[in-house]
Structure 1
Amino acid sequence: MKKTELKERLSQYSIDILNLENFHDKLAPAIMGYADLLFEEFDVNGSAGREHIQTLNGNAIGTFWAANCIREIFRTQRFSRALYSSVLGAIGKNRRPIHVLYAGTGPFAALALPIMMMLKPEDVQFTFLEINPESIEILEQVIDLFDLHAYVKNIHQCDASLWDVPSSGIDIVISETMSRALIAEPQVAIMLNLASQLPKEVVFLPEEIKVSLCKLTRGSREPERIAELINFNKESIYSIIENSSMRNWNFNDQNIQANLSEGDQLYFMTEIRINDGNILNLNDSSLNLLEKIKVNRKQGVINLNIKYALDKRPGFRVIEK
């Protein structure tokens, strides 16, 4: 297929993905078509692409797995739409072009392509950060195929949780390097590292990631919230930075009491507000699936100490008291 035809397909998918309606008839076909277009043109199925890269602050998922995240309909729609609306909002306030730092692009920079289809290079410029060399190689092919060089300031192969920002001329930071309950992947470390080097007026997407302790009673579909464990937003990001030094990020612990009846199960629940109008709640995506918590005591009053921690496998540490 000719480049022009491919770009026309990409443009039409972008229009449908960025549509302001939360659900419409063209949404699922657009997301699937978008994914199929990229998978048809680029090979992400190699064995190397299925291997994660272990960092000091969590797993950077393999190229194949990162690429497949596109197929999650609400996840791709709402992250892309949030980025688009943030860029449009910044154009009204800031110098142009708006400079977006996209940390953890995977092989396709899938959240950025729809924005490039809708705006001009004079409106928006991207700096891409990606740790995986295979993903970088495919990303460069994507930029070539769709003639997007004019939108790309820089591509850095690096660990975004440790990367030194060369200049503060950045308007928006977006990273979607996370799993449910902020486990395993380096989202928190990446955002803290970048925020610690950037002015407070920079927009960070997602704007808020909330993880709560909840319990689910057997036969019930709705979990009961027991306590909010973290509300990872700009305010808390800068509070953590102020109370930490040298990228040794400190998190507060909480003592929480839970009362379990027979058949109750404790879980972490994740809610994400990427920005206003773009929200992912329970079961909207794999990021919002409940994460089971293992405790020894199954019934009665349980006293727990819970604290988020960053290391090779980030997540909440739960201690029964």
Structure 2
Amino acid sequence: MEKQELKKRLLQYSRDLLKDGDFHDKLAPAVMGYADLLFEYFDVNNTAGREDIQTTHGNAIGTFWAARCIREVLRTQRFSRGLYSSVLKMVNQSKKPVHVLYAGTGPFAALALPVMMLLAPEDVQFTFLEINPESIAKLKEVINLFDLDPYVKNIHQCDATVWDVSSSEIDIVISETMNRALITEPQVAIMLNLASQLPKEVVFLPEEIKVSLCKLNDGNKEPEKIAELINFNKGLMYSIIQNSSLRNWEFADQDVRVNILEDEQLCYMTEIRVNEDNTLNFNQSSLNLPERLKISQKQGPVNLNFRYSLDKKPGFVVKESFK
């Protein structure tokens, strides 16, 4: 297929992907077509592409797995559209070009391509951060194929959890380097590291990630919320930064008392607001699936203490007591 035809297809998928409406008849075909187009031209199905890379604070998933995330329809739509609407808002306020720092691009920078296809280089510029050399190589191929070099200020192969920001002239930071319940992957550490070096007026996407302790009951489809454990937003980020030093991020702990009945199971639930109405809630993506809580107490009253931790494997540390 000729380059112009490829670009034409990508433009149409981008338009359909960024359309208004939570769900419409062109959305799923656009996301699937978008993913198929990229997979068709860029081989990510090799052994190296399946290997994760350990960052200072969490696993950066392999090229193949990062690419597969594109096929999650609502996830790709909400994150891409959230980025587009944030950029467009600044463009309409005569802030040009808008400089986006995209941390954890994977092999395709999939959240950025639709934005580039619908806006001009005079409107938006990107700096890309990615730790995986395999993904960096693919990303450069993607940029070359679709003639997107005019949109790219810099590409840095780095660990974004400890990267020293090279320019404070950033308007938007976006990172989608997370797993459900903020486990395993380095989303929190990346955002804290970048926020600690950037002006407070910078927009961070997603704007809010909530993780709550919930009960799963065999008779109910949706979990019952017991307590919110973290609301990771700009306010919390700057509070953590203020109370921490040398990237040793300190999180508050929380006590929760719960009575577990015979047919109940405790779990974490994740809700994400990218911005405005671009949200992801229960079961709308793999990020919003329940994550079961592993504790010794299977039934009866228990006191639980939760603290988020950013060791090599991020997630909540839970302590039980039965007083």
- Give the structure-2-normalised TM-score: 0.98
- Amino acid across the alignment from 1:116: M
Task: Report the CA distance between 1:265 and its aligned residue.
Answer: 0.3
Q: Which amino acid aligns with 1:2?
A: E
5 Å-filtered alignment, 1:36-115, equals 36-93=36-93, 95-115=95-115
Once the two structures are TM-superposed, the CA of residue 61 in structure 1 deviates from its matched residue by 0.2
DSSP 3-state at the match of 1:65: helix
- Confirm or deny that 1:312 pairs with 2:278: no
User: Residue in 2 aligned with 1:13?
Assistant: 13
Q: Work out the CA distance in 2 between the residues paired with 1:129 and 1:166.
A: 11
Give distance in 2, aligned partners of 1:125 and 1:290: 36
* Corresponding residue number in structure 1 for 2:173: 173
Aligned to 1:23: 23
One-letter code of the match for 1:250?
E
Deviations 1:51-76 (A, max 9, x none): 00011200000000000000000000
In the alignment, which residue of structure 1 is the partner of 2:297?
297
Deviation (angstroms), 1:93: 3.2
Task: Spell out the pairing of 1:263-282 with structure 2 (5 A cutoff).
Answer: 263-282=263-282
After superposition, the C-alpha distances for 1:83-111 in whole angstroms (9 at most, x for unaligned) are: 00000111133531000000000000000
> 2:157 maps to which residue?
157
The 5-angstrom pairing of residues 106-255 of structure 1 reads: 106-255=106-255
SS at match of 2:142: helix
Whether the 8 Å contact between 2:31 and 2:70 is mirrored in structure 1 is yes
User: Once the 2 structures are TM-superposed, how far is the Cα of residue 219 of structure 1 from its aligned partner?
Assistant: 2.1
| Distance in 2 (alpha carbons) for counterparts of 1:184 and 1:28 | 28
Shift of 1:260: 1.0
d(CA) in 2 for partners of 1:92, 1:4: 29
Rounded to whole Å, the distance in 2 between the matches of 1:294 and 1:309 is 16
1:125-179 C-alpha deviation (Å, 9 max, x unpaired): 0000000000000000000000000000000000001110111100000000000
Q: CA separation in 2, counterparts of 1:85 and 1:309? A: 32
1:74 match: secondary structure: helix
Whole-angstrom CA distance in 2 between matches of 1:262 and 1:167: 55
Answer yes or no: is the 8 Å Cα contact 2:183–2:313 preserved in 1. yes
Mapped contact 2:165–2:194 kept (Cα < 8 A)? yes
State the alpha-carbon separation in 2 of the partners of residues 59 and 115 from structure 1.
27
State the distance in 2 between where 1:91 and 1:280 align: 26
Secondary structure at 2:162 match in 1: coil
Secondary structure of 2:87's aligned partner: helix
Separation (CA, whole Å) in 2 of partners of 1:127 and 1:57: 22
4+ long deviations beyond 2 Å: 92-95
Q: Distance in 2 between matches of 1:55 and 1:77?
A: 27
- Tell me the distance in 2 between the aligned counterparts of 1:86 and 1:108: 20
1:314 aligned partner, one-letter code = P
CA drift at 1:298 = 1.5
The residue type equivalent to 1:134 in the other structure is E
The separation in 1 between residues aligned to 2:309 and 2:200, in whole angstroms, is: 24
RMSD: 0.7
Question: Secondary structure at the residue paired with 1:284?
Answer: coil
The amino acid of 1:58's aligned partner reads G
Q: Which amino acid aligns with 1:67?
A: A
* Other structure's SS at 1:122 match: coil
Select between 65-74 and 215-224 the one with higher mean Cα deviation. 215-224
Partner Cα distance (2:95, 2:277) in 1: 25
Aligned length: 321
Change (3 A) 1:36 1:217: same
- Aligned equivalents of 2:94, 2:211: Cα separation in 1: 33
Q: Secondary structure at the match of 2:22?
A: coil
Structure 1: state its 5+ residue gaps.
Answer: none
Provide the secondary structure at the position in 2 that maps to 1:271. Answer: strand
Any gaps of 5 or more consecutive residues in structure 2? Answer: none
